[in-house]
Amino acid sequence: MSAGQQPRRPAIFVLLALLVASLGLSAFLGHAALDYYGAAVAGRLDPAGLKTYAAERGKQAPDGPLLVFFGDSRALMWPKPRAPTGYGIVNRGIGNQTTAQILLRLDADVTELHPAAVVFEGGVNDLKVIADVPARRAEIVADCEANLEHIVERLRRTGATVVLLTVFDIGDLALWRRPFWSSQVATAVDEVNAFLPRLAGGKVVLFDANEVLADERGKIQAAYQLDYLHLSVAGYAALDQKIVPLLAGLPK
């Protein structure tokens, strides 16, 4: 082999590696797009998600005072706390739901259970849409705040004590997500969180999740991130260290 031919082989390997990486990324994005489309179609068939817990309605609730975890996927993924809270616990979270969808199913999934306490978390699925339609930022924030106010007021009317969580911050974005994101999502999260104290008082207790989860940068600690939207088991354990004593101390 001549000296002039030697550099070509590494260059070919680099090109092949880039081709494989490109094909892999294309396949990943295609799969993600199909998942997103499938979720959107399912949402049109059952906009409020009323079918999700249909089989649970009418079943015997746990004995004693009842605690409901209610909201979107961040509520759904919350493991049942290991430490005693003094409540029987059920989870009524549904992934991908906006506050408008959550509001539509509140009576079916919460009110009929007659809970003594509700841990409510929601809002991020509204605000993440700002990355897709930035021109509607003000409208999205205003609608999210209005829906949260309606949800809290409806929960308050059940007689339950409401533990209202702030919207978790956005975690570290994967490389593939960054071109399709906007820094305005994070500022909108801050704006909604600044609004939430207006809803607290009486039997509505505001719980600052970011105070528990944040690192020195004010962002969610890496160990607490499952992905940019969701918490790891360690993240929920950190929340439980603060929220379980709060729940245990609520009037039953």
Per residue in 23-68, pLDDT (tens digit) is 654 564 465 445 555 555 556 788 999 999 999 988 877 778 999 9
**Domain layout of the chain by residue ranges:** 3-45, 62-248
Q: Does pLDDT of 110 surpass 70? A: yes
| Cα 30 from Cα 14, distance rounded (Å) | 24
Nearest one of 48, 55, 56, 49 to 90, comparing CA atoms: 56
What average pLDDT score do residues 103-124 get? Answer: 97
| Cα 93 from Cα 96, distance rounded (Å) | 10
What average pLDDT score do residues 217-228 get? Answer: 94
Nearest one of 123, 112, 209, 202 to 161, comparing CA atoms: 202
Classify domain 62-248 at the CATH topology level: Rossmann fold (3.40.50)
pLDDT grade, residue 243 (50/70/90)?
Answer: very high
The pLDDT, as a whole number, for residue 92 is 98
**Apex 24 CA angle, 18 and 27, nearest 5:** 140
The pLDDT, as a whole number, for residue 1 is 45
Query: Mean pLDDT over all residues of the chain?
Result: 89
Taking the CA atoms of residue 150, residue 155, residue 158 and residue 159 in that order, the dihedral angle to the nearest 10 degrees is -120
Q: Is residue 213 within 8 Å of residue 238, measured between CB atoms?
A: yes
Q: Does pLDDT of 141 surpass 70? A: yes
Measure Cα distances from 2 to 6, 9, 14, 15, 31 in Å: 7, 12, 21, 22, 45
pLDDT > 90 in the chain, percent:
73
Q: Does pLDDT of 14 surpass 80? A: no
What average pLDDT score do residues 85-109 get? Answer: 97
| Cα 166 from Cα 232, distance rounded (Å) | 17
Which pTM does this prediction carry? Answer: 0.84
For residues 124 and 64, the model is more confident at: 124
Nearest one of 142, 123, 119, 122 to 204, comparing CA atoms: 119
Per residue in 145-201, pLDDT (tens digit) is 999 999 999 999 999 999 999 999 999 998 888 999 999 999 999 999 999 999 999
What average pLDDT score do residues 90-98 get? Answer: 97
Q: Is residue 143 within 8 Å of residue 127, measured between CB atoms?
A: no
